[in-house]
Structure 1
Amino acid sequence: MKICYISNLYPPNVLGGAEIIVEKMALELVKRGHESIIITTSPYNKKHVINRDNTTIYQINTTKLYPVYKQTEASGLKKPLWHLFDLWNNATLKEIKKILVEENVDLIHINNFKGLSLSCFKVGKDLNIPVIFESHDFSLICPRANLIRGNNTLCQQRNTVCDQYVKIQRKLLNENVDLLISPSNFMINKFKENQFFNNTSTVKIPLGIEYKCEKSEKSYDTIDITYIGTLGKHKGVHTLIEAFKDIDNDSIRLHIIGKGYDEEEFKEMARKDNRITFHGFIDNKDIREFYNKSNIIVIPSICYDNSPLVIYESFSTGTPVIGSNIGGIPELIEENFNGFLFEPENSESLKEKLLKVINNKELLKKLEYNSAKTLPSNSIDVMVDKLIDEYSKLLN
C-alpha cells in the first residue's frame, strides 16, 4: 500500500516530538515493503521536492505571514492573523490534491496540520481516499494547541473569540476523518468532551521508538536529574528549577536540554546555582547519551501533555520518570513502579518526589529495573503493526 503522511513539520525541521514520530512511521512502512510519501510545509519560498530514505518529501509553501517552523519567533498581531488565514487554504487544497492524484495514494495519515489548514482533511473525501488523523496536540480545540492561557495557567473555559474559532474548526472539519488515533485516552476523551469525532472510530496506539530497550549502567556518586523539552513555562521548567534549588545537596546535578520562549528567564532563575547546566538544543540522534547518564528524567508540565516521547525514550534506557499528574502522563507512569507523579506546578510536591530517589539508592535502582521492563523490547514494531492493521481495515 501507499501511504501519504501529512505533517506541518518534518525532519530536519523539528520543533517537537510529533514530526520525529511521523518520520519513524514513514520509514518503518518502507522497510516493510510499502510506500510512503510526505507532504509538509516548505522552509523555502516555493515548492520543493526531496527524495530521501526511499521516500518522496513534498515541501509546499502556501502559508501566509510566516512559515510554521518560525512560529516561535512570531509576535504581535501576526499570530492571530496567521491562525485566521490558516483556517482554510484553497491553495493548499489544490496542491495536495494534485500530489495525491499523481502519486496514486491509497490512504492519507494526517498528523499536525497547522500551516496546511483544515483544507487538507477535505482532500480524502474529494478523492475517495480514507483519512486517518493522529492527534499530537489540541490544535482543534485551542488556537495555542496546548489549552494554556497567555498567563501560563490551564484554560478551563474558552473565551468568546476562542469559542467561535473552535466552532468554525468543528464545522470545517465536518465528517472528513475516518479514524482518530491518539497515543493517550486522555486526548481522545478531551475531543469527545468538545464535540469532535462523536461519529468517528477512535483507537489508542502508544508511541514506539526504534531504540533497543536496554538498561544503561548508572553511577550513583552524583545523582543526575534531567529535563528534555521545550523551555517554556507551560512545560513547568520553572517548577523544576525551584524544587531543585530548594534541595541542599552537593551531589546532585540538574541538566536542562532544549530551547524556547522562556529560556533566558530560566537561566536567570538558575544563575546562582552552579549545579544547574543548560545544554541548549541537542539533536535527537545524540540525545540517548543524556538518557544513559541520567538517574531520573523529570516531566514537570503544567499543560495537558498528550503522551511525551521523552518518557518512552527514558524507559528504553531504564531511566525512571517523575512527571506531573496531568494529561496523558499518568497513563505511562505507574507510581512507585517506574517513577512518581506529583501535583502540577507544585514545587514542594516535586521536591518531595525528588528527595525520595536522591536519598534512597535502593528505591532508585528498583525504579530503574522496572522502567527497563515497561516498554515492549520492540515498541516501534508494536506501534507499526497496529498502524498497518488499522490501515488494512480501512482499505478493506
Structure 2
Amino acid sequence: MKILHLAHQYPPEFTGGTEFYTQQLCQQLRLLGHETAVFYRRPGQGLAERVDPDGTRVWGAGAGPMTPLRRFRATFGQKSLLADWQGALAAYQPDLIHVQHLMGLPAELLAASSVPYLITFHDYWWVCANAQLLTNYDQTICAGPDHFINCGRCALARGGAGALQLGAPLMAPLLARRNRTLATILQNAAARIAPTEFVRGRYQALGVTAPIELIRHGIDYPRDLPAARRQPGPLQLVYLGSIAPQKGLHVAIAAVNELPPDAVRFTLYGGLTDFPDYVAELRRLARHPGIEFAGRLTRQQVWERLPQADAALLPTQWFEASPLTIDEMFVAGLPVIGSHIGALPDKIVPEVDGLLVAPADVAAWVAALRRLLDEPELLPRLRAGIRPVRHIDDHVQEIVALYEKVLAGGQ
C-alpha cells in the first residue's frame, strides 16, 4: 500500500507526541513493505521536498508564520497550501490518506480529495479549537461550548485579547462554522481512530455520532533493555515530556519543595525553549536543591537514563489522550504517579503500577510523594505490578488491518 500521512507538524522542526508517533508509524509500515509519505506544514515559505533516511517521502509546505490566528484561519482555506497539497497528491498518488492532525491546514485538503482517508484523534482539536478542552483564559477544564460562547472566550484569550470577554458572543458564529466544517470532514472519513476509551467517550459526548475505532497505541522499545541500575541514596524522581503549562509541573515542583532536601532528586527531561516564560516561572518556584532541569533526551538516552530512576511523575492538568511517556516509564520499570484526569486512569492502575492524584492539589501530591519515602514496601510492590507494555508492532498490525478494510470498501 501507498499511505500518505497528513500532519500539522513533523520532525525535525517539531518533536511532540503526534509527530513522534507519525514518524514511528511510517518507519514500521516501511519495514512491512508499504510505501509511506508525509505532508505537513512547516515554518517559512515554499514547498520543501525530501526523502528521510527511513525512505519516507516528505513534503513540508511553508505558508508564513504559524501564529495562533493564522493556524485558525487556515482551516477555512489557504490557496498556497491547497496547491502544494494537490501537487503532492499528483506526484505520490496514494492509495490511502491517514490524517494525524489538520491544525493549521485547510479542511478543503480532504474535501477536494477522492482518495479515502481515515483520522486518528491525538487530542480534541476536531471539536475544540484549543485542542485540549482546556480554557485559555484560566487554564481550567472547559465546561462545554455553551452555544460556542466559551469557544469565543478561548479564542479571544488565545489571540491576546482576553480583556475583551464581552466580545465572545460575536466570535461564536465563527467558531460554530469551524466545527460544522470539521464535522463534515469527520463524517466523510472512512474510519476514525481513538487511542483510549476516554478519548472515544469525549468525542461521542461532544456530538460525534459516526463510529470510532479503538486502537491502543504501542511504542518501539528495546526488547533487551538492561535491568534497572538503581543505586542506594535519595529517591530519584523523573519527568519526561514537554515543559509546558498544561503539564502541571508547577504542581509537582511545589510538592517536591515540601520534601526533605537530602531525601529526593527530581530531574525534568524536556525542551527548555518552547515555553521560556513557563520555564522561568518553574525555575523561580524550584526551591528544593534536588530539582534539576536536564533538557531533552535522545531516544538512546531515554533508555539509558530512565532505568536509573525510582518513579516518574506526570502531573498533567488536561485531558491527555494517550501519553506515550507512561508506556516508556513502564518499560523502564518505573511506577507512575499521575494526575487523576483524562486517559491516565485508562493506563495507570492505582496501587498496582502507580498512584493517581488530584491534578492541581499540591497537598495531595505532597502526601503521595511522602508515601514513597515513608512506605519502604510501596515502590517494590508498584514495580512488581507493572504489566507488559504493548509494542508498536502490535499496534501497526491493527492499523494495517484497518487500512485493508477501508481499501476493501468496508467502513
- Does the 8 Å CA contact 1:142/1:166 hold for their aligned counterparts? no
1:128-183: CA deviation from partner (whole Å, max 9, x where unpaired): x2211111112122222112223222221335226545422332120331211121
Separation of aligned partners in 2, 1:180 and 1:203:
6
Aligned to 1:134: 120
Aligned to 1:58: 59
1:168 to 2:169 alignment? no
Aligned to 1:208: 218
Separation of aligned partners in 2, 1:133 and 1:91:
23
Counterpart code for 1:390: L
Q: 1:101 aligns with which of 79, 87, 90?
A: 90
1:147 to 2:117 alignment? no
> Aligned to 2:377, what secondary structure does the other structure show?
helix
Separation of aligned partners in 2, 1:385 and 1:157:
36
Counterpart code for 1:363: L
> Aligned to 2:334, what secondary structure does the other structure show?
coil
Separation of aligned partners in 2, 1:168 and 1:187:
23
TM-superposed CA distance for 1:224, in Å, is: 0.8
Counterpart code for 2:143: Q
Listed as ranges, the matches of 1:283-298 within 5 Å are: 283-298=298-313
Aligned to 1:264: 280
TM-score (norm. length: structure 1) = 0.89
Distance 1:316 1:366, change over 3 A: same
Give the stretch that moved more between structures: 16-25 or 5-14.
Answer: 5-14
Separation of aligned partners in 2, 1:130 and 1:137:
22
TM-superposed CA distance for 1:84, in Å, is: 2.4
Aligned to 2:389: 375
Distance 1:345 1:3, change over 3 A: same
Aligned to 1:91: 80
1:329-366: CA deviation from partner (whole Å, max 9, x where unpaired): 11000011110101110112122222222233332122
- Does the 8 Å CA contact 1:296/1:321 hold for their aligned counterparts? yes
Identical amino acids, percent of aligned pairs: 23
> Aligned to 1:287, what secondary structure does the other structure show?
helix
Aligned to 1:70: none
Separation of aligned partners in 2, 1:7 and 1:341:
32
TM-superposed CA distance for 1:249, in Å, is: 4.9
1:303 to 2:318 alignment? yes
Counterpart code for 1:147: L
> Aligned to 2:307, what secondary structure does the other structure show?
helix
Counterpart code for 2:41: T
Distance 1:116 1:284, change over 3 A: farther
TM-score (norm. length: structure 2) = 0.86
Unaligned 5+ residue runs, structure 1? 68-77
- Does the 8 Å CA contact 1:182/1:206 hold for their aligned counterparts? yes
Q: What is the aligned residue count?
A: 375
> Aligned to 1:349, what secondary structure does the other structure show?
helix
Separation of aligned partners in 1, 2:372 and 2:118:
42
Separation of aligned partners in 1, 2:175 and 2:329:
35
Counterpart code for 2:342: G
> Aligned to 1:304, what secondary structure does the other structure show?
coil
Listed as ranges, the matches of 1:172-183 within 5 Å are: 172-173=181-182, 174=184, 175-183=187-195
Aligned to 2:105: 116
Distance 1:26 1:136, change over 3 A: same
TM-superposed CA distance for 1:58, in Å, is: 0.7
- Does the 8 Å CA contact 2:75/2:104 hold for their aligned counterparts? yes
Give the stretch that moved more between structures: 232-241 or 150-159.
Answer: 150-159
1:99-123: CA deviation from partner (whole Å, max 9, x where unpaired): 2232121110011221223223324
1:20 to 2:32 alignment? no
